Structure 1
Amino acid sequence: MTDSSTPPDGVVVNAGGYTDTLERSTGRFASFAVAFAFVSIATGIFTTYGSVLKSSGPLGIWTWPLVIVGQLAVALLLGSLAARIPVTGYAYQWVSRLANPVLGWITGWISFSFLAIVAVAVDYTVAATVVPALFDFTGTALTSFEITAGILLLQGLLVGVSTKWTERVNNFAVSAELIGMVALVVLLFIVGVVTHKLSTGNLFSRGGIPADGYWSLGTATSAGPWMLGFLLGAFTIVGFESAANLAEETKRPEVVVPKAMWQAVLASGILGFLFLLVVTAAVNDPAALAQSGTPIADVIRDILGSVVGTSLLVLVAIAIFACGLVIVMSGVRLVWAMSRDQRFPGWQLLHKVSPRFKTPLNATVAMTTISAVILGLFSTSTDALFVLFSAATLLPAVIYAITVALYIATRRRLPASAGFNLGRWETPIIVVAVIWLVFVLALFRDSSFEQPWLYVAAMVAIGAVYLIYLLITRGRHGLKMPELRSIDAELDQVGVADDPQDVTR
């Protein structure tokens, strides 16, 4: 019997012009967990807090609320797209249908470039900072490479063998991160107050950053000190749209996915800022702490002792593993979606779904291998971690800007969806999103992003060669997307009752 609140298998995928291939088993918490794990405040704050202390001082944390407002606006707009085009491939699918398949392919390739490198960036953090701190040894380029490669292999194995077990591992990790971060905020505040180790003056300190020019916007090739603090949130609060990349495996994706996206941003934003406030208030010497490879763990150890500090590192390791796991899974789905449309190199093999595991196994092998190659290219660099994270911060901003611009241009002719509607809030949300994206893209003019821009240029060049090949061999019309239809119309055709109360649950 079909429940009136849940479309029959295939209805949502049919709306995108496809037939059901993947198992539809992802529920509401699993969808939220995918979005939350990709954002992973434990990963982002642990990784970039030291950089913010160096560039902006403790005052840099006050950029975080502004980032949340901007990214929440972006998440709401992307959620509106996810409700109307709930098929695997997210930005690739959205832009292909809103603009044209050529621009859609370019966006898909940029998204793939982002996912391939951010998987390495996240896993490299465990190898370069967390594991050495946990086991008290000095890491080398070789040990970082070996540990990262091992983590990538394990993540690829999980994603390739079982989606259910991948989600179970991720659900556990997200639950642990949520509980652990809340507990840390409470413990740090209580113990800090009792021991008189919290200083509200820290929250308004520049640390070792000179006052001259601190608030300036910067020059044509540099951003001002406080402006660089925005990179803390800009790196962390990304990837929430990964829930949309599992749309064809999610129950009622037109309802569940948009909610998972904005809830992940809001939950991460509030919890992350509370954590930043208590950690920064607990800092003893901001200038000295900025030189540490694990500044967050150092503060925790100072306030709560070595046992809790070590527990934090374990929690961070779990959160980072889950973050990387979700990134690999999202990358695999994108490769598979583009291969299904015969538009990714090697699509003949990569579009297949394993009859045994019910997963895109070949795409998993390809995604894991490509990330391993990127790891090998960066493994001998002394500043590999900075380059990786810089590129992983730049690329999503580019993807969001393209997608939001297309949403603005085409929102009047989008297919209807009862699952998620911005209503009268659409215009102010668009204004906030545009202001935010213009601002954050302007930050990447800083000369420190020269190498990340080169990475982007190299990946775009590689993609351009393949795109030219596609256009020569097939022509522009050969890249036409399957017909897009209204999900509500599909539901009406199969006689599924529209329950307006259900879509708000």
Structure 2
Amino acid sequence: MPRELGWYASFSVAFGFVSIATGIFTTYGAVLATSGPRGIWAWPIAVVGQLTVALVFGALAARIPISGYSYQWVSRIVGPVWGWIMGWISFAFLGVVVVAVDYTIASTILPELFRYVGTTQNAWAITAVVVLLQAVLVALSTRSTHKVNSVAVTVQLIGMIALTVLLFAVGAFTGKLDFGNLFDTASVPADGYYALGGATEAGPFALAFLLGAFTIVGFESAANLAEETREPARVIPKAMVRAVISLGVLGFLFLVAITAAAGKVAGVGTSETPVATVITAVLGSVVGKVLLVLVVISIFSCGLVITLSGTRLVYAMSRDERFPGWRLLRRVDRRTATPLNASVFMLLVAQAILALFSRSTDALFELFSAATLLPALIYAGTIAMYIAKRKSLPPTRGFALGRWEVPVLVVASVWLAYELLIFRDASFRAPWTYVLVLFAIGAVYFAGLLRRRGRQGLTMPDMADVDRTLDAADAADVTAEGSPR
């Protein structure tokens, strides 16, 4: 596959996957219910935690800029068995998160936009169509996919900035801002608000961290397209860090605006779509609907990037002959220059997960919970690997943590340990079930793989081979750019 992605395309992939519009529209209602308006103050802490993770991922991407990110890194640095486990977890995450993202459009925005009653049935049908459209676009053209995503990211930037400014301006002019609401716990008891909780329950403030933990994920998707990016070791780390910082700042300003306005809007606490309800109440029906359309575009872009990342991960694992059906899934279609079979496979996986969760009356919460738990496991495993092997990592090709390496690793480790402890809460039983079922399926396949090949048959290229491959690809890019067209 050709290297045709520049710095803005790489940034757009990271920015588009994270998509604060998606995360906030999906989880804000749950935060109000479990933590009250005061829960938004967990956001800045979560952003700092995820930023340290992004810095570590940037350091790894600069050393091994190959499609497959954590799967490739762990396979080559620790060993193929642990790498396969990381790849399978990543596959499980990408399969469920695209459904969670697209389900947000059907369940929280379109009902408010077109004034109809949302049900599990129509949410299922709409989500299925959205997933199909994204898969078709990814399968047909990588270049078109990135063009659509770049436009959508630009729309999201403009739309979210405009939405935030308008909420502050119109809210202040009409007297619909109540900044005291930022510190209110509403129906959540104030006593024990910051308590850690018990063995099977997390405290109210702890649950609020899920807002940032669900939203600020996926920045590593830029690394998953390393083989299609020009100068990936230099471009990708900066793209990930810039995406987390910009989204963290913009997201918090938007949360402050929404929460301040929510204090003067009746019925927000009981609304199925609290963010959309506040926007419409403050800005009016016409302006509110225009901005909600921009949010739909942003969320569609997010699902598009997730589909693209999932396809590339399946392709990368199949290319290494260690994914179910790898003989078909590693093929690159000559006409489209995309891994077409892998795209169809990810479509089928997403549709199956949608059918599984859509029967639940609380499908959105279960989907976003599973899509928060899985990346936390991926991040924790990758950070642990980096800590264990940091003295023997290959030389960097464009980005390094330098003297900040140890402080960054400490903060990232503490943050991820705390985040994973939140999932001891009994409300996360369904997400854990999904994770365990996917792990069981993976374990059966991997046991068969080991029986057929043995550990010796799963060896990955050593770092010298990786460097030679990357150097050859870079040389080919230079030759191609200098040759007549």
Q: Distance in 1 between matches of 2:467 and 2:73?
A: 18
- Partner residue in 2 for 1:437: 416
Deviates more, 1:289-298 or 1:434-443: 289-298
Q: Distance in 1 between matches of 2:47 and 2:440?
A: 33
Pick one of 316, 320, 327 that aligns with 2:306.
327
What SS class does the counterpart of residue 357 from structure 1 fall into? Answer: coil
Within 5 Å, give how 1:314-393 maps onto structure 2.
Answer: 314-393=293-372
Map residues 182-193 of structure 1 onto 2, 5 A cutoff: 182-193=161-172
Trace 1:14-33 onto structure 2 (pairs within 5 A): 22-33=1-12
Q: How does 1:279-294 map to 2 (within 5 A)?
A: 279-284=258-263, 288-294=267-273
Identity %: 61
| Offset, 1:134 | 1.6
Distance 2:45 2:408 in 1: 14
SS in 2 for 1:207: coil
Cα distance change of structure 1 residues 495 and 398 upon mapping to structure 2, 3 Å threshold: closer
Instruction: Tell me, yes or no, if structure 1 residue 251 matches structure 2 residue 230.
Output: yes
User: Which residue number corresponds to residue 396 of structure 2?
Assistant: 417
Per the TM alignment, residue 370 of structure 1 is displaced from its structure 2 partner at its CA by 1.0
Question: Is residue 209 from structure 1 mapped to residue 196 from structure 2 by the alignment?
Answer: no
Q: Which runs of 4+ in 1 moved over 4 A?
A: 486-496
1:457 is aligned, of 436, 440, 461, to: 436
Q: Is the 8 A contact 2:261 2:278 kept in 1?
A: yes
After superposition, residues 143-292 of structure 1 pair within 5 angstroms as 143-284=122-263, 288-292=267-271
Letter matched to residue 119 of structure 1: V
Quote how far apart the aligned CAs of 1:488 are: 7.5
Q: Does 1:136 align with 2:115?
A: yes
* The 10-residue stretch of structure 1 (461-470 or 298-307) with the greater mean CA deviation from structure 2: 298-307
Retained in 1: the 8 A contact 2:265–2:278? no
Amino acid at match of 2:371: A
| 8 A contact 1:113–1:459 mirrored in 2 | yes
Structure 1 counterpart SS, 2:62: helix
Code of the residue aligned with 1:469 in structure 2: it is: G
CA offsets per residue over residues 396-435 of structure 1, 9 Å max, x none? 0000000000001111111112410111111111111011
Alignment-derived partner of residue 4 in structure 1: none
- Distance between the aligned counterparts of 1:276 and 1:417, measured in 2? 37
**Secondary structure in structure 1 of the residue aligned to 2:99:** helix
Write the distance in 1 (CA, Å) between the matches of 2:275 and 2:470: 50
Q: Where does residue 476 of structure 1 map in the other structure?
A: 455
Hey, what's the Cα distance between the residues in 2 that align with 1:396 and 1:492? Answer: 31
Corresponding residue number in structure 2 for 1:298: 277
CA distance in 2, matches of 1:495, 1:234: 36
Partner AA of 1:404 in structure 2: I
Residues 319, 338 of structure 1: alpha-carbon distance in 2 compared, 3 angstrom cutoff: same
Amino acid at match of 1:409: A
- Matches of 2:441 and 2:29, distance apart in 1: 34
Q: CA RMSD in A?
A: 1.7
Query: Could you give the per-residue CA deviations for residues 279-335 of structure 1, whole angstroms, max 9, x where no partner exists?
Result: 111113589412211111211122211112112221121111111110010000000
1:456-495 per-position Cα deviation (integer Å, ceiling 9, x unaligned): 0000000000000010000001000012239878888999
Q: State how far apart, in whole Å, the 2-side matches of 1:424 and 1:386 are.
A: 40
Amino acid at match of 1:428: P
* Distance in 2 (alpha carbons) for counterparts of 1:123 and 1:460: 24
Structure 2 CA distance for aligned equivalents of residues 381 and 294 of structure 1? 18
TM-score, length-scaled by structure 2 = 0.95
Q: Which amino acid aligns with 1:289?
A: V
Whether the 8 Å contact between 1:159 and 1:364 is mirrored in structure 2 is yes
Q: Which amino acid aligns with 2:57?
A: L
Q: Which whole-Å CA distance do the structure 2 matches of 1:295 and 1:140 have between them?
A: 17
1:87 equivalent in structure 2: 66
Q: Which moved more, 1:154-163 or 1:128-137?
A: 128-137
Pick which of 311-320 and 340-349 moved more. 311-320
1:84–1:487 CA contact under 8 A, matched in 2: no
CA distance in 1, matches of 2:149, 2:471: 35
> Which residue number corresponds to residue 481 of structure 2?
none
Residue in 2 that maps onto 1:501: none
Query: In 1, are the aligned partners of 2:112 and 2:277 still within 8 Å (CA)?
Result: no
Equivalent residue for 2:381? 402
Q: Which residue of 2 aligns with 1:17?
A: none
Looking at structure 2, the residues matched to 494 and 238 of structure 1 have their Cα atoms a distance apart, in angstroms, of 29
**Which one-letter code corresponds to 1:221 in the other structure?**
T
- Going from structure 1 to structure 2, the CA distance change for 1:487 and 1:367 (only over 3 Å counts) comes to closer
Scaled by the length of structure 1, what TM-score is found? 0.91
**CA deviation profile, 1:361-390 (whole Å, cap 9, x unmatched):** 010011111111111122222111111111
Structure-2 separation of matches of 1:47 and 1:378 = 15
Contact 2:25–2:108 at 8 Å: present in 1 too? no
Task: Give distance in 2, aligned partners of 1:491 and 1:54.
Answer: 49
Contact 1:417 1:487 in 2 (8 A): no
Report the Cα distance in structure 1 between the residues aligned to 2:449 and 2:138, rounded to whole angstroms. 29
The 8 Å contact of residues 84 and 486 in structure 1, kept in 2 or not, is answered as no
Corresponding residue of 2:479: none
Q: Which of 397, 415, 425 is the aligned partner of 1:446?
A: 425
| Alpha-carbon distance between aligned partners in 2 of 1:383 and 1:204, rounded to the nearest angstrom | 28
C-alpha distance 50-493 of structure 1, shift in aligned 2 (>3 A): closer
Task: Tell me what 1:503 maps to.
Answer: none
| Unmatched tracts of structure 1, length 5 or more | 1-21, 497-505
Instruction: Determine if contact 1:57/1:286 at 8 Å carries over to the other structure.
Output: no
CA distance, structure 2, for counterparts of residue 286 and residue 219 of structure 1: 34
Give per-residue Cα distances to partners, 1:317-359, cap 9 Å, x unaligned. 1111111110010000000000000000000010010111000
